[in-house]
Amino acid sequence: MPLSTSATKGIWKACRGWATSLLAGAEQLVFPAACRICSQPLPDSTGSKPAALTADRLCGGCRLELCDHSRRCSRCGLPGAGGNGCSGCRQLVARLGAGQPLWQEFAVLGRYDGLLREAVLHAKHPTGEDLAELLALLLLAQRPAIRSWGIAAVVPIPMHWRRRWKRGTNAAAAMARQLARQLGVPLRHALARSAVTPLQRSLPAASRPGNVAASFRLRDRRVGGNVVLLVDDVATTGATLAAATGLLLEAGVPVVYAAVAARAEASADSP
């Protein structure tokens, strides 16, 4: 008697699961799972979800060092309780020349220092794309409130095509791709760079808002009317995020949230 369609699908699903488990076991034997940061072997996980086949490949020590469990202001992303009178918010708006941050809330994995700084810098290269996605997973796990924001689309901070071609990757885009996948919403490359401007890190803090003020243009209007999560790998003065947020709001986005892997905690006079 011929098998029914549902029975055939069930057999195929079981065979596929068996083959995946077999492949995972073989890979674990030949290439034991190791921490993406320090290369220390990870516990054998072939009995459940193999670490070698997931983006979550960190030992406990590196995970602890990458994640910042301190309280941060939800508007400026700097350490502190936030709210009215937040010194970080006052510093931010003074730099940007605005009354308040344009984004609704700001999610930060940790301080741009130590191991997280090294990870972010490595994620800026083609060999570090999986690391950028891992940082996005850590950010979502560390700041679960992101899931409650009602995000309808994820938008990465873009690079100019010349700089993107030279570098070979965009860490912000890799992070945004993973966040969109985890949130189950579209990834929209809604912004583009209209000019090659000096790198923000090469300029003093006071010059950064002007450097990026007119450097973005809108390339995808489908974000209009949707709540957007704007993603970058690192923020220092907030000037880049502010310029991009302003353009999205002008395009009809009702609310913009911001998320970065690392937040620099420099003084107003820092480069």
Higher pLDDT, 168 or 72: 72
Q: What is the pLDDT of residues 136-187, one digit of tens each?
A: 999 999 999 999 999 999 999 998 767 767 777 899 999 999 999 999 999 9
Q: Is the pLDDT of residue 28 over 60?
A: no
- Give the residue from 235, 231, 36 showing the smallest Cα distance to 140: 231
Total-model pTM: 0.76
pLDDT at residue 32 in the model: 59
Q: What is the pLDDT of residues 231-259, one digit of tens each?
A: 999 998 888 898 899 999 999 999 999 99
Q: Top-level CATH class of 67-263?
A: alpha beta
Q: Is the pLDDT of residue 24 over 50?
A: no
Higher pLDDT, 199 or 113: 113
Q: What's the whole-number mean pLDDT along residues 212-229?
A: 84
Residue 226: CB atoms within 10 A of its CB come to: 20
pLDDT at residue 164 in the model: 67
User: What does R_g of the chain's alpha carbons equal in angstroms?
Assistant: 21
pLDDT at residue 157 in the model: 95
Band of the pLDDT at 214, cuts 50, 70, 90? low
Higher pLDDT, 212 or 137: 137
55, two tokens: 């983006």
User: In this prediction, what percent of the chain has a pLDDT beyond 70?
Assistant: 72
Q: How far apart are CA 142 and CA 162, in angstroms?
A: 34
Could you tell me the end-to-end alpha-carbon distance of the chain, in angstroms, rounded to an integer?
Answer: 76
Angle at 113 between CA 265 and CA 164, to 5 degrees: 95
Q: Is the pLDDT of residue 206 over 90?
A: no
pLDDT at residue 198 in the model: 45
Q: Determine contact, residues 243/237, Cβ cutoff 8 Å.
A: no
Band of the pLDDT at 217, cuts 50, 70, 90? confident
The contacts of residue 76 (CB under 8 Å, 6+ apart) are: 82, 86, 88, 89, 91, 92, 101, 106, 238
The mean pLDDT of the chain is 79
Q: What's the whole-number mean pLDDT along residues 66-74?
A: 88
User: Residue ranges of the domains in the chain?
Assistant: 22-61, 67-263
